[in-house]
Chains A and B, each alone.
Chain A
Amino acid sequence: DTGVSQNPRHKITKRGQNVTFRCDPISEHNRLYWYRQTLGQGPEFLTYFQNEAQLEKSRLLSDRFSAERPKGSFSTLEIQRTEQGDSAMYLCASSFLYGDRPDTQYFGPGTRLTVL
């Protein structure tokens, strides 16, 4: 499968614990995006990278959230001191930005986080 992959697919944790998710983008893609999706809503932008540089973070992203893409390939999203409001589907997407061509984003299957 050469699409975007995410691990784990499901994560159940207790409030206050830290969790880390991984995203492996399509191999030639230089852009990687993280979104959060709650039931009945559209994906909500969190942050994105171009290669290893984190270019933008949403104001929704509290200081408990951190994301990295150390070698410009896979990315990790860590949530520290989880809260019940963090329960959601965390989606990763990747794209290839070149010139002024639209960088069509392709989504991974998501990681569903449940905070008890």
Chain B
Amino acid sequence: GENVEQHPSTLSVQEGDSAVIKCTYSDSASNYFPWYKQELGKRPQLIIDIRSNVGEKKDQRIAVTLNKTAKHFSLHITETQPEDSAVYFCAASRTGQNFVFGPGTRLSVLP
């Protein structure tokens, strides 16, 4: 079955700097890769996603890149703000299958 690894487990950046979180997956048939942000005590919220037929997607300060050959994808947050502090989860799935989540990255943006 699918296995998703995520690095780093914790990340601290200065406000205004960029943050990058990387995930690798094992199932070459996976074709959908969402990223969720979870603040303490709250539900996971979708922030961006990418399908396997696209190499990069951007939404304001957030971007995701996908390398199908190497089976890894990354979340990029530019101009980080304190409200970006949260736990970020990547996931991988095939269409219509359950998501397999990574273990999460705790991002702290220091003022």
Say yes or no: A97-B96 contact (C-beta < 8 A), given A41-B104, A102-B51.
yes
Tell me the minimal C-beta distance from B91 to chain A in angstroms: 8
Within 8 A of B (CB), among A45-68: 45, 48, 56
Q: How many A-B residue pairs have CB under 8 A?
A: 55
A-B contact pairs, 28 of them (CB 8 A): A4-B43, A40-B103, A40-B104, A41-B103, A41-B104, A42-B91, A42-B104, A43-B99, A44-B101, A48-B98, A56-B97, A91-B43, A91-B44, A97-B95, A97-B96, A102-B31, A102-B32, A102-B34, A102-B51, A102-B95, A103-B96, A104-B34, A105-B99, A106-B46, A107-B45, A109-B42, A109-B43, A110-B43
A contact set with B: CB distance below 8 Å: 4, 33, 40-45, 48, 56, 91, 97, 100-110
B contact set with A: CB distance below 8 Å: 6, 31-32, 34, 36, 42-46, 49, 51, 89, 91, 93, 95-104
